[in-house]
A and B are shown apart, each in its own frame.
Chain A
Amino acid sequence: MVDHEMWGSTPARGRTDRLVAAVVWLAATVVTAVFLWILADLLRHGAGQISWTFLTAAPASAGRAGGIGPILVSTAWILAVCLAVALPLGLGTAVLLAELTSAEDAFGRLVRRSLDVLAGVPSIVFGLFGNALFCVYLGLGFSILSGGLTLACMVLPILIRSAEEGLRAVPDEYRLGGAALGLSRGKILLHLLLPAAVPGLIVGVVLGFGRAIAETAALIFTSGYVDRMPGSVHDSGRALSIHIYDLGVNIPGGETNAYATALVLVAILLLTNTAASLLGDRLRGRHAES
């Protein structure tokens, strides 16, 4: 077997194995170390600032004093708009790609190709596109809505590709078994395939969420710079990432609060990732039982 050949135990192979193992471990350690370093840096500079007041108060003195209350609210609204639009669209497209088209189908190939191109487009291009389409052409102006819709365009490729992978990973026996029981394709999809594809979907949502919450360039020209508490989705609202960027590069003495805000952003990312993986485990467990 391949395994046997690769992991054979002659002295030369033993040395190669140890070398490969060392390189692999080193790579993994470096990756983790970079993350821990960033986290430690953020904690060291920002943790002292974090308080309930910081999380709820409005920014003052161009963000150097006060808190990030309105910015957290704006960010949440932008993400809500983004996911509300991207999830149904993404799931629909993924179902089409995975269940209704074969790998050779011309239309499926076209959709996949466009998604791959979209995934590689720099976010500033999405920002300028979003500004031209949503803000100016559709007249939405600088608003949370424009920002959320722009982000939706940006995370769709990630969402669709992960959901499609999730669906494709479901064994064909499920489909055949369902068909043998006389279930319609819709029922098979809803009751068998989608629950089984949940892990893939959750990966997609987590990746998409991460890309969306970290986004600066796509938002600066769409949801904008205003740090007032938003009254509706038609108001301009500053996202966390833009606040960090502005404090970091534009405001003399804005660094401390930039660190604190970045720490909040990373904490949100960690929390959502953990919550999503817990949710995934539970849904998978329930699916396995039923």
Chain B
Amino acid sequence: MTRTILSLASLSLATLAALLLVTAGCRPASSSQSASRLVLTGSSTVAPLAAEIGKRFEASSGIRVDVQTGGSSRGLADARQGLADIGMASRALEAGEEDLASFTIARDGICVIVHRDNPVARLSDAQVVEIFTGRIADWGAVGGAPGPVTVVNKAEGRSTLELFLKHFGIDNRQVRASVVIGDNEQGIKTVAGQAGAVGYVSIGAAEHAAARGVPIKLLPMRSVAATTANVRGGRYPLARPLNLVTLGEPKEPARRFIDFARSEAVHDLVEDLSLVPALESLAAGEASRPSPTES
């Protein structure tokens, strides 16, 4: 009777409860305590690089490296709470974050991009500011063919956005954006699809796309051409560090992984993702303070 059906329903509930209990019972040791496993979380820009470095590290050391994404803020928060052994952040640490130690594993430049058919060849810093704050709304005002400017801005919370705004001294509320985008590839696609668009993305990604034939143009900044070579040489003015972050000084095996990620053994992986190895750029006289206490 009714009981049969009710027991069917309770059976299914019991299935779930049992599954949860069993899995909770035999759960593996918490990530942070395990000596043979490392968990990294954070920036989606650093994650693909860290995952590739992790595979190589795993092959030589036998220590498992699990990389998860979620953004720089999440990386810092997880490192702080012990949910991750190492956090990943695509920006330098700021004031108030002194409890964390950061280690630069690569650098990435940010450049302004326009459509390839746009005759504008350069923009001064002042012009960039006026365009992004809406004071210049027509390409005719900066030497281009007359036509409306479509400003492509990054979404709140993206470290590229923070770095760009800081460099040009703009407040995000002043930005008159027509399009708000998330990742680099999305920004490139948006600008490539609209003749009057202007945006800013990672130089590595833009260089790669332009080489593939995507119709975009990388504008020089303060007369320095936007190339990974110039980021490497430390000449390009707008670059950001890609950092590994730990709470306090890193313990084993995180220490070993960080050393490995900063060694020459992974430079090919860094370059393969259109980024610039960190130590090289520092050796070339980068203006920023040396790691590991870079902030």
Residues on A lying within 8 angstroms of B by beta carbon are 61-63, 85, 88-89, 91-93, 95-96, 99-100, 136, 138-142, 145, 149, 184-187, 189, 220-221, 224-228, 233-234, 236, 246, 248-254
Most buried by B among A99, A138, A221, A251: A251
Contacts of A139 on B, CB cut-off 8 Å? 24, 27, 30
Contacts of A99 on B, CB cut-off 8 Å? 5
**Residue pair A220, B69 in contact (C-beta under 8 Å):** yes
A21 vs B183: C-alpha distance when bound (angstroms): 44
Contacts of A221 on B, CB cut-off 8 Å? 68, 70
Contacts of B16 on A, CB cut-off 8 Å? 85, 88-89
Q: Which residue of B lies closest to A231 (CB)?
A: B64
Number of interface residues of B (CB under 8 A): 50
**Residue pair B67, A189 in contact (C-beta under 8 Å):** no
Contacts of A140 on B, CB cut-off 8 Å? 23-24, 27
Contact with A along B1-40 (1 / 0, CB 8 A): 1111110111111011001100110011011000000010
**Residue pair A186, B5 in contact (C-beta under 8 Å):** yes
Interface CB pairs A-B, < 8 A, 9: A92-B10, A99-B5, A138-B27, A141-B30, A184-B4, A228-B55, A246-B44, A250-B48, A251-B185
Contact of A252 among B6, B52, B68, B208 (CB under 8 A): B208
Contacts of A225 on B, CB cut-off 8 Å? 47, 51, 67-69
Distance of A135 from chain B, by nearest CB (Å): 9
**Residue pair A236, B212 in contact (C-beta under 8 Å):** no
A62 vs B8: C-alpha distance when bound (angstroms): 46
Q: How many A-B residue pairs have CB under 8 A?
A: 127
A187 vs B1: C-alpha distance when bound (angstroms): 8
Check A100/B30 contact, CB under 8 A, given A92-B13, A236-B66, A248-B185: no
**Residue pair A88, B11 in contact (C-beta under 8 Å):** yes
A189 vs B20: C-alpha distance when bound (angstroms): 29
B39-80 CB contacts (< 8 Å) to partner A: 39, 44-45, 47-49, 51-52, 55, 66-70
Distance of B200 from chain A, by nearest CB (Å): 16
* List of 10 A-B pairs having minimum Cβ-Cβ separation, nearest first: A186-B4, A88-B12, A92-B9, A252-B208, A249-B183, A92-B12, A62-B48, A252-B205, A249-B185, A89-B12
Contacts of B69 on A, CB cut-off 8 Å? 220, 225, 246
**Residue pair A92, B27 in contact (C-beta under 8 Å):** no
**Residue pair B68, A236 in contact (C-beta under 8 Å):** yes
Contacts of A61 on B, CB cut-off 8 Å? 52, 272
Contact of B209 among A62, A88, A189, A252 (CB under 8 A): A252
A141 vs B221: C-alpha distance when bound (angstroms): 44
A259 vs B145: C-alpha distance when bound (angstroms): 36
**Residue pair A224, B4 in contact (C-beta under 8 Å):** no
Contact of B83 among A136, A145, A189, A252 (CB under 8 A): A136
**Residue pair A88, B66 in contact (C-beta under 8 Å):** no
Check A226/B9 contact, CB under 8 A, given A145-B23, A185-B2: no
Q: Which residue of B lies closest to A89 (CB)?
A: B12
Most buried by A among B30, B67, B208: B67
Check A253/B208 contact, CB under 8 A, given A61-B272, A62-B51: yes
Contacts of A141 on B, CB cut-off 8 Å? 27-28, 30-31, 39
